[in-house]
Structure 1
Amino acid sequence: MKIVFMGTPDFARAALEKIIEAGHEVVLVVTQPDKPKGRSGELQVSDVKACALEHNIPVFQPVKIKEADHVAYLKSIDADIYVVAAFGQILSQEILDIPRFGCVNIHASILPEYRGAAPIQQSIIDGKKTTGVTIMQMAAGMDTGDILLQREIPIDEEETGGGLFDKLSDLGGELIVEALPKIERGELTPIPQDEAKATKCGKLSKDMGKIDFSKDAETIRNLVRGLNPWPSAYTYLGGKMLKIWKAKTLGEVDLGALINSMSPEDGSRAKEISQSGDVGSVVAVLKDSFVVLTGGGYLKITEVQLEGKKRMDVKAFLLGYKISAGDKLGD
């Protein structure tokens, strides 16, 4: 089929590459305008644009795709279907109606769950055990169209937002390549989404990463995983921002075993702190980690990054920064 591909970040690039590899003719790539990056303000092309240029595919970069002249241009392109993946702009009904087979979207969740901008990270933050990709016939609403094809995968216990992003990016490419010939042959039956089961998720922001130690340890661990690598979970230590990159949960039994392995003085101090209920307090400091009291259980922190420093494991961090039982994390 002749395809117009609309997408912007690296998540969409994987799909575009697989569509090209499958032998489909991509007649146009539509992506967001180049944006200035860093202090230099040098314009940076999107991942999708870079891929299009490598394959000598024409690129269109409208600021607002709904404008009349942009819609007229799209109508002039001979395409059978539009494939959309993390494009970053809402398509009008007029645009959705242009191609013969309509517009299909690659969405990184099992719809109707997690409609919106950051379904990958939110699924980890919420502690979900599975997620997946949906190929959806686009409608005017936000991720509300009929479901054409879905595939589910498990979320590993130690999975991060970045790792899951890569897996779903590859899966999205595989699934759209499977869907396209079936769409052309009329072999897929559109299934309306169950609105009663619909959930939404917003865009990621740096503010989301601030750790609230009054929450339970598992909730905080999921936040750490979900926001790794961006925008990252963080707290404060000695007035400086401390990013938490890796952490594990400890229950009462685990903490008890830990305290029993410590010296009598350190063990007594750990018990005192754990019983105080002062969340965010450091309960114990080990060679390769430190343990923090939360609103439910204990968080064993194993990889950090202090403001102005490199990311490192806690064993290396403790060689240059002293943390003691009783120190407090947070504002």
Structure 2
Amino acid sequence: MGTPAFAVPSLDALAAAGHELLAVVAQPDRPAGRGNALRAPATKVWAEARGVPVLQPEKVRDGRLASELGALRPDLLVVAAYGRILGSDLLTLAPWGAVNVHGSLLPKYRGAAPIQWAIAEGERETGVSIMQMDEGLDTGDVLLQRVLEIGADDTAETLAPRLAALGGEALVEALALLERRALVPVRQDGARATLARILEKEDGRVDWTLPAQRIADRLRGFTPWPGAFTTLEGRAVKLLEARPEPGDPGASPGAARRAAGRGLAVACGAGTALVVTRLQPEGKPAQDALAFLNGLRRDAFQLGT
């Protein structure tokens, strides 16, 4: 049970390890792109290319999906970024229950966007957790974890494929151990849990009172969506590349000036500055920050206005 590209390496790993895939369950095709044409989920594309049956129910808690899957008599349900919360009818359907491939080191970053929030919160490492599912939000016992370093330049876009590949490897490792009854489930410490809630467009709005490192981390974590954006005289400006550095403690947050030969330096909280090297003004293509300044014909102004 999985929908986006994150789930595909788990499918690859299961198939390569010799597991029989009775069906792939994905969310329905959704409109995408400028023309809003229906686009099939990545897992559906994978399954159809290999002759694996695909189920795409609109609802998962009305009993119909449990009935369809029950008829297949699976040993186990595997869930990887499916995007729906399963009820007890599905969680208890198979003799081995349901296991989840989650993109964080649980109990940290439970929820829909663990990869994005781990970067946005300044973590230097993350990983994958293979979890025995229960009816809570990523609250089940952990069966196996693998750690992955977050690079200084990693974005959610660059980190996700590496985590997905690690998830596939960890999944087949865990299933082999589970089959031999060689795994000891570890209960999560709820007191250490953090929530990786689903992202909203407004999460990308830059708060210039934050330290520059926090803003830079959020930019990386929220790439490609919702990104990091601010405003200049009511028009949006998207920040594409930036780095933190020491700044002028007396500068007003959001005060921007030309940084000779380097880009656009914006004052941030705690006496820091964010040097923006690439950006995209509303209605225009992405451009070098110095080119933006040259077109603006101003060397100092206030962002967030």
TM-score for the superposition, normalised by structure 2: 0.95
What's the CA shift for 1:308? 1.6
Whether the aligned pair in 1 keeps the contact of 2:66 and 2:93 (CA below 8 Å) is no
Which aligned pairs between 1:169-184 and structure 2 lie closer than 5 A?
Answer: 169-184=164-179
What's the CA shift for 1:109? 0.6
The one-letter code of the counterpart of 1:235 is T
1:7 match: secondary structure: coil
Change beyond 3 A, Cα 1:84–1:248: same
Q: What residue number does 1:329 align with? A: 303
Which residue of 274, 279, 286 corresponds with 1:311?
Answer: 286
What's the CA shift for 1:245? 1.3
Instruction: Tell me which protein shows more helix as a share of its residues.
Output: 1
Greater shift in the superposed pair: 37-46 or 204-213: 37-46
What's the CA shift for 1:172? 0.7
Gaps of 5+ in 2: none
What's the CA shift for 1:89? 1.0
Q: What residue number does 2:22 align with? A: 27
Whether the aligned pair in 1 keeps the contact of 2:212 and 2:274 (CA below 8 Å) is yes
1:111 match: secondary structure: coil
Q: Indicate whether 1:224 and 2:199 are aligned.
A: no
Greater shift in the superposed pair: 122-131 or 278-287: 278-287
Percentage of matched positions with identical amino acids: 41
Which residue of 1, 13, 19 corresponds with 2:8?
Answer: 13
What is the root-mean-square deviation in Å for CA atoms of aligned residues?
1.6
Whether the aligned pair in 1 keeps the contact of 2:258 and 2:293 (CA below 8 Å) is no
Change beyond 3 A, Cα 1:101–1:160: same
- Give distance in 1, aligned partners of 2:126 and 2:298: 38
- Give distance in 2, aligned partners of 1:228 and 1:39: 20
Q: What residue number does 2:82 align with? A: 87
What's the CA shift for 1:39? 5.0
- Give distance in 2, aligned partners of 1:51 and 1:186: 31
2:302 match: secondary structure: coil
Q: What residue number does 1:113 align with? A: 108
What's the CA shift for 1:71? 1.6
Q: What residue number does 2:180 align with? A: 185
Which residue of 25, 31, 41 corresponds with 1:36?
Answer: 31
Q: What residue number does 1:283 align with? A: 257
Q: Deviations over 1:55-113 (max 9, x none)?
A: 11000011111212222111101211111011011111121111111100000110011
TM-score for the superposition, normalised by structure 1: 0.88
What's the CA shift for 1:188? 0.9
Greater shift in the superposed pair: 234-243 or 139-148: 234-243
Gaps of 5+ in 1: 1-5, 253-273
Which aligned pairs between 1:141-152 and structure 2 lie closer than 5 A?
Answer: 141-152=136-147
What's the CA shift for 1:288? 3.8
Whether the aligned pair in 2 keeps the contact of 1:288 and 1:313 (CA below 8 Å) is no
What's the CA shift for 1:23? 2.1
What's the CA shift for 1:202? 0.6
Change beyond 3 A, Cα 1:312–1:22: farther
- Give distance in 2, aligned partners of 1:243 and 1:171: 32
Which residue of 203, 208, 229 corresponds with 2:203?
Answer: 208
- Give distance in 2, aligned partners of 1:26 and 1:323: 61
- Give distance in 2, aligned partners of 1:23 and 1:311: 46
Q: What residue number does 1:269 align with? A: none
Whether the aligned pair in 1 keeps the contact of 2:101 and 2:171 (CA below 8 Å) is yes
- Counting matched residue pairs gives 304
- Give distance in 1, aligned partners of 2:249 and 2:186: 54
- Give distance in 2, aligned partners of 1:29 and 1:305: 39
Q: What residue number does 2:149 align with? A: 154
Whether the aligned pair in 1 keeps the contact of 2:262 and 2:275 (CA below 8 Å) is no
The one-letter code of the counterpart of 1:290 is L
- Give distance in 2, aligned partners of 1:311 and 1:20: 41
Whether the aligned pair in 1 keeps the contact of 2:80 and 2:102 (CA below 8 Å) is yes
Which aligned pairs between 1:71-82 and structure 2 lie closer than 5 A?
Answer: 71-82=66-77
The one-letter code of the counterpart of 2:118 is S
What's the CA shift for 1:321? 3.9
What's the CA shift for 1:132? 0.5
The one-letter code of the counterpart of 1:283 is R
2:22 match: secondary structure: strand
